[in-house]
Amino acid sequence: MNIAQDKVVELDYQLTVRGEVLDHSEPGEPLTYLHGHGLIIPGLERALDGKQPGDDFEVIVPPEDGYGERNDEAIEELDRADFDDDVEEGETYYMQAADGTPYPFTVVSVNGDKVRADFNPPLAGETLHFKVKVLAVRDATAQELEQGYAGEEGEDGQ
């Protein structure tokens, strides 16, 4: 069965950026996702279209098809008083929008009562190199289609 819209896909992967391995699936714990629902980055999802179990390949995803280009306007100054705890440079924190949506950001610097925060995704502007092996492809269940992700409701990570 080929990968297509509404198929559940299991794959092993390794993500490398600038020669450094940043992420990978663990042995025996493949990435499982519902294809065509925007649950993985667009460039990788498009590269997987039509693939089938046993396919083993590499994909280079440019920033515009991955986490986007870096945006200098996504760097803001926040008041130190808005933080409950000590603030550390390089750490990721979360801000909550009025509608409750969490927005992660990385602290670039702390200078007196000001915190410089970068709201760009950490891999924005990076070219992503994936090694991928498709392990399995199956039809999604009615519940998976309704909930919009693979696996039964209540399973780990859901």
Q: What is the per-residue pLDDT across 19-45, written as a single tens digit (0 to 9) for each? A: 999 999 999 999 999 999 999 999 999
Phi first, then psi, for residue 152 (nearest 5°) are -80, 150
Is position 2 within any domain?
no
> Within a domain: residue 24?
yes
Q: Which of 116, 128, 130 is nearest to 72 (CA)?
A: 116
Whether 49 and 16 map to the same domain: the answer is yes
pTM value surpassing 0.85: no
Indicate whether 105 pLDDT > 80. yes
In a domain, 32, yes or no: yes
Range 116-120 contact pairs with CB under 8 angstroms and sequence separation of 24 or more: 116/75, 116/76, 116/77, 116/78, 117/75, 117/76, 117/77, 117/78, 117/93, 118/74, 118/75, 119/74, 119/75, 119/76, 120/68, 120/70, 120/71, 120/74, 120/75
The dihedral formed by the CA atoms of 26, 32, 36 and 42, expressed in degrees to the nearest 10: -10
> Does 61 share its domain with 45?
yes
Number of domains forming the structure of the chain: 2
Question: Which residue type occupies 60?
Answer: I
Q: For the chain, what is the total number of helices (H) and then of strands (E)?
A: 2, 9
Is residue 134 domain-shared with residue 60, that is, in the same domain?
Answer: yes
Instruction: Note whether residue 155 is domain-resident.
Output: no
Is the same domain home to 59 and 135?
yes
Binned at pLDDT 50, 70 and 90, residue 96 comes out as: confident
Domain region containing 55: 7-67+123-147
Same structural domain, 57 and 127: yes
Do 59 and 11 reside in the same domain of the chain? Answer: yes
